[in-house]
Amino acid sequence: MKVDPRSKMLLVICISGLALIYNNPLQLALLLAVSLALLGAFRFDIGMIGGYLRPLVSLLLILFLIQCLFTKGGQVWLTIGQLELVSSAGLIAGASVVLRILVVVNSAMLLTTCSSRDFVLGLIQWKVPYEIAFMVSIALRFLPLFRDEMQNVITAVQLRGVELKKVAWGEKISMYRTLIFPVVYRTMLKAQQLSIVMEARGFRAYPRRTYLRRLDLYWADYVIMSLALTVTVILLVGQIL
């Protein structure tokens, strides 16, 4: 069963929207389970999720710790002398932040199960201007490029005989701070070259574009979209009331 990219986009919007509204870790955990189930249903390789999330682990840990330490309330779990360090409210806030980010990232992965061409076509058939739709597709393309550039730099550093795991933290931070500059510069250079190539190939040369293909919605798409919207509205109303 092939699902239209517009149905997937609506699912992403609904799940991400609910993730932003929910504050309860249990609700967010359920939302995470739903997003994982949807990824499985759309034949996304669940094993790859770890690869996508691994770079975020340290960030998630830091956010969790910050929330734990600076959100007060409820039962106190850890004190140092008179200083209350960790409370139940802090743990709940920390868990909520982490789960929210995981839900948003996982639901965004749904968009990788369709080609960027179909994604752009879907947006255009939703009356989004072509330039905006193309910008979104390019942004999605550049995220893995940025990751690849970083990986290339790390490989190059290691091939110069530098064992990154054995470098002291202070020196490592200083090294990464230096390395981020060529990574950003090279990515921006690629973006600049892309814009030149696009113009050279007639991007926006004419006011009207024609398309080789057209996306059609089938009964499965209508069911998915109706279900997603209905459930989201019910949950939102329930949350408000």
- Within 8 A by CB and 6+ apart from 172, the residues are 164
Give the nearest distance from C-beta 165 to other proteins in angstroms: 8
**Interface residues for other proteins in 172-231 (CB under 8 A)?**
178-179, 181-183, 185-186, 189
Task: Choose, by CB under 8 A, the member of 156, 197, 198, 223 that binds other proteins.
Answer: 156
Q: Cα 213 from chain centroid? A: 28
d(CA 22, CA 225): 21
Task: Choose, by CB under 8 A, the member of 164, 184, 197, 223 that binds other proteins.
Answer: 164
* Nearest residue to 18 via CA among 230, 240, 235: 235
Number of H helices, E strands in the chain: 9, 2
Nearer to other proteins, 50 or 161 (CB): 161
Give the nearest distance from C-beta 48 to other proteins in angstroms: 11
3 state SS of 68: helix
Nearer to other proteins, 75 or 178 (CB): 178
d(CA 32, CA 240): 21
Q: Is 153 in the site for other proteins (CB under 8 A)?
A: yes
Give the nearest distance from C-beta 156 to other proteins in angstroms: 4
Residue written as token pair 């975020």:
56
Nearer to other proteins, 56 or 154 (CB): 154
Q: Is 159 in the site for other proteins (CB under 8 A)?
A: yes
d(CA 222, CA 197): 38
Q: Are 68 and 90 in contact (CB under 8 A)?
A: yes
Stretch that binds other proteins, among 26-34, 61-69, 147-155, 221-229 (CB under 8 A): 147-155
Q: Is 75 in the site for other proteins (CB under 8 A)?
A: no
Backbone angles phi, psi at 51, to 5 degrees: -65, -40
Give the nearest distance from C-beta 158 to other proteins in angstroms: 4
Where is 84: in which H helix or E strand?
strand 83-87
Q: Is 163 in the site for other proteins (CB under 8 A)?
A: yes
**How many CB atoms are closer than 10 A to CB 89?**
16
Q: Is 49 in the site for other proteins (CB under 8 A)?
A: no
Give the nearest distance from C-beta 164 to other proteins in angstroms: 7
Give the nearest distance from C-beta 137 to other proteins in angstroms: 20
- Binding residues (CB under 8 A) for other proteins: these are 152-153, 155-165, 178-179, 181-183, 185-186, 189
